[in-house]
Structure 1
Amino acid sequence: MILGEAVFVRNDNPLAFSRDELVLIEALVGRASLSLDNARRYSRERAAALALQRNLLPRHISGGVALEVASRYLPADTHEGIGGDWFDAIPLSRDRVGLVVGDVVGHGINAAARMGQLRPVVQTLADLDLPPDVLLARLDRLVLRLGAQDSGEGGDLDLPASMVMGGTCLYVVYDPVNRQCTMARAGHPPPAILYPDGAVVFPEIPAGPPIGLGTMAYQSATVELPEGSTIALYTDGLVESRTADLGSGMERLRSALAGPRVGLEELCERVLTAMTNHRAAAAGREGTRPAEGSPGASPASDGSRPAGAAPGPDTSHASCGDDIALLLARTRPPIPRRPAPVPHEPDDFSADL
């Protein structure tokens, strides 16, 4: 495959290139062609990973009668490739809603594929009406089994962490009748809660180990959310970077959420703009900038979306060194509990013979 041509010309020296000069030219051309080929392969794999992730993430999420929801996903611009960040809103029985956000270990197309495995597993476990701590424990064990199968160990659960298809996860169940929100996390940053009076709180949730270690030791915490409260679930790419630790990033998130009350779509944009602009400014002070053609290298659209529409990759914000997933949910007015469906009694078709 021909990737290009190189022409070497000199004017002051009329002599032909020497053998040593030709060897140097061949070496330079070889290095250039290798770099171009690597860039082409990287672009192709990144495009494939983005397409895979776009198809695996939910196209439309809904909080039903309990929650108004909005979400964003911003892919990374690093050479390691996009990560395995994911999110979901899962309708449960009795008008409850399960909210989940997670981050699979690794980058590239393999991370996107593993994310595609975890999302339906969580949906299936959520459909069993498991409490958040029990769901994470079941997920931990299932991921360990999947990691054992992928490594060819024949189901041996005693695997090193590096061989496990693991990651972090935060799972939340909101009940609109008693307005209680029950949460558990596995190595994941805690959610942020924006109350109607403008206060932003990071609830204290026991920090369980990441998914895939086989400890299955998780605990839930419950808080009450008044009408109009907003809960923010996010991945660490939103609050952590090479220039800022988790604590300072969470404080910036608190400030971004605590501004004037707006709709969820506008709040998503405000949070992402505030967090990514700070990161871009810090990168500028370090003398770095995103690579040409990377997401966020230049502004694009205004980022507006239909209400409830889950995003594909968002390129309207400044670049980031890690994927960012953001899921916002705002509580609606409380509703009465719907009566449980009455089991259908089969008709009696018996007859005298």
Structure 2
Amino acid sequence: MYGSREIEPRRSRFAAKASIWVVPLSALAIITAADLALRGGSGVCVMYAVVPALALLQGADQRRFHLTGVAAFSVCFLLAVIRGREDALASAAGVAAVMVVCGIGCLGRLRRLADTQAVAEVVQRALLRPLPSRLGPLRLETRYLASAPQAQVGGDVYDAAWTPYGIRLLIGDVMGNGLGTVETAGRLLGAFREAAYDEEDLASLAWRLHVGLSRDPGVGERGVFATALLVNVSPAGDVAEVLSCGHPPPLLLRSDGGVEEVEIGSPLPPLGMLELSQEHVRIEVGLRPGDGLLLYTDGFTEARDADGEFFPLARHAACGEPEDLVQRLVDDLAAHVGDRLGDDAALVMLRRHEADGIKVDDHVRHSATP
């Protein structure tokens, strides 16, 4: 089994699907009421032809488009039969003509768009391959949320690898937008998948990622760089080393429900700017059985509600059972921001299995490394 991904908040999906029906059917009801009130003498009847077109504008698929058109055609046909109105019969013919024209043109475009989104899904899976739900002594759960329904690829990335030096995880956020960002995200993941097995320490791994991005001469010209958080968990799962390259610090999830932010101290600059760094702070976090780390991108912490308040990720992470924590955070974020996210967002939760293990130091240890 693999951790699942959410492409967009549930509230946004529900609102989008509801509007497909509400807008055209409301227009149908208004046109019918106006036509009956004016007793068919005002020419309102010709407006029935816009109902199926409105359904397409709302993003209706083929089935919804046909159902909406049939509803408009049926109303016109009933008016023609029951009241003997020739204008209603002409309107029914107009609805049928609109359905034929739109069906040939617009629905063909929708099918091409669906094919494009299917390709985007394949690209997304190639970039963000599913992580196993269990990796050695760790349980893993991931989520990816796109800021727009049609955007299935973006600059937020994550990956994990079981290496000779321990279990290594990456979460990153490529700055920028457009296809160049997707290309840079692919380069970052490719560099991590190669270097994670070769470099003995996280600082060397971060430099390899930096070099991998810098090999693209266009990166500097576009001003694109990437924040990244690297984590190395010991084979026993009792110690996690954390290195930040300009990325938000992880949250330490204690087995008793406590949540605290891991203090990074002096993080490295983002990847693409590591030549500006002089030293970094090596951070080790002791993990007891049941403890975990929550890695995230700023799409969570910088999400705002209608009043401009940021999403309190740490407060929401402190509530509830660990089994459903990631999905509940996704739902809470959707409730906080409303209809749409302002930025892509990603979550990776790792948790040490709840079993008898070695007693570890509860404190976070820091040491400066030149």
TM-score, normalising length: structure 2 = 0.59
Distance 1:247 1:210, change over 3 A: farther
Conserved 8 A contact 1:192-1:202: yes
1:233 aligns with 2:295: yes
1:259 pairs, out of 299, 306, 319, with 319
* Equivalence for 1:341: none
Task: Give 5+ residue unaligned stretches, structure 2.
Answer: 1-40, 43-105, 359-370
CA 1:226 to 1:176, structure 2 compared with 1: closer, same or farther past 3 Å? farther
Out of 307, 328, 331, which is 2:349 matched to? 328
User: Pairwise mapping of residues 256-295 of structure 1 onto structure 2 (< 5 A)?
Assistant: 256-263=316-323, 266-280=324-338, 289=339
Higher RCO (CA-CA < 8 Å; seq separation 6+): 1
2:166 matches 1:90 = no
Assess if the C-alpha contact under 8 Å between 2:137 and 2:237 holds in 1.
Answer: no
Contact 1:102 1:167 in 2 (8 A): yes
Cα deviation digits, residues 7-55 of structure 1 (max 9, x gap): xxxx99xxxxxxxxxxxxxxxxxxxxxxx9xx98998876654441233
Following the alignment from structure 1 to structure 2, what is the Cα–Cα distance between the partners of residues 109 and 49? 12
Q: Does 1:187 align with 2:246?
A: yes
Amino acid of the residue matched to residue 277 of structure 1?
A: A
SS of the residue aligned with 1:177? coil
Structure 2 counterpart SS, 1:277: helix
**CA shift for structure 1 position 71:** 0.7
Choose from 232, 257, 271 the match for 1:211: 271
Tell whether 2:207 aligns with 1:137: yes
Cα distance in structure 2, aligned partners of 1:122 and 1:245:
39
CA RMSD of aligned residues (A): 3.2
Aligned to 2:144, what secondary structure does the other structure show? strand
Shift of 1:194: 0.7
Distance 1:68 1:85 in 2: 21
The offset of 1:219, in angstroms, is 3.5
**Mapped partners of 1:97, 1:244: distance in 2:** 40
Trace 1:94-109 onto structure 2 (pairs within 5 A): 96-109=166-179
**Equivalent residue, structure 2, for 1:293:** none
Match of 1:346 in 2: none
Query: Which residue identity does 2:347 align to in structure 1?
Result: L
Contact 1:194 1:201 in 2 (8 A): yes
Highest CA radius of gyration, 1 or 2?
2
2:200 corresponds to which letter in structure 1? L
Alignment partners' CA distance in 2, 1:66 and 1:246: 40
Confirm or deny that 1:169 pairs with 2:239.
no
Structure 1 residues 241 and 253, CA gap change in structure 2 (3 angstroms): closer
Distance 1:132 1:245 in 2: 40
**% of aligned pairs identical?**
29
Quote the Cα distance in structure 1 between the aligned partners of 2:272 and 2:325. Answer: 33
- Give me the whole-angstrom Cα distance separating, in 2, the residues matched to 1:186 and 1:81: 25
CA distance in 1, matches of 2:356, 2:191: 30
Are residues 141 and 254 of structure 1, via their aligned partners in 2, closer, same or farther at CA, if it must alter by over 3 Å? same
Tell whether the 8 Å contact from 1:101 to 1:171 is kept in structure 2 after alignment. Answer: yes
Q: Which runs of 5+ in 1 are unaligned?
A: 1-10, 13-35, 152-158, 281-288, 290-318, 337-353
CA distance change for structure 1 residues 45 and 75 in 2, over 3 Å: closer, same or farther? Answer: same
Structure 2 counterpart of 1:120, from 190, 193, 212: 190
CA gap 1:231/1:69 in 2 versus in 1, 3 angstroms: same
* Between structures 1 and 2, the one with greater helix share: 2
Deviation of the 1:125 alpha carbon: 1.4
SS at match of 1:226: coil
Deviation track 1:171-223 (CA, whole Å, cap 9, x = no partner) reads: 10011437111011111111111101211011111322111124263443111
1:296-311 correspondence runs (5 A) = none
Question: Would the aligned equivalents of 1:200 and 1:257 in 2 still touch at CA under 8 Å?
Answer: yes
Amino acid at match of 2:328: R
Instruction: For 1:334 and 1:93, locate their aligned partners in 2 and report how far apart those are by CA, in whole Å.
Output: 24
In 2 relative to 1, CA 210–65 (structure 1 residues): closer, same or farther, beyond 3 Å? Answer: same
Alignment-derived partner of residue 59 in structure 1: 130
Number of residues of Structure 1 aligned to a counterpart in Structure 2: 249
Structure 1 residues 246 and 106: alpha-carbon distance in aligned structure 2, compared to 1, 3 A threshold = farther
Q: Partner amino acid for 1:321?
A: G
Distance across 2 between alignment mates of 1:335 and 1:172: 21
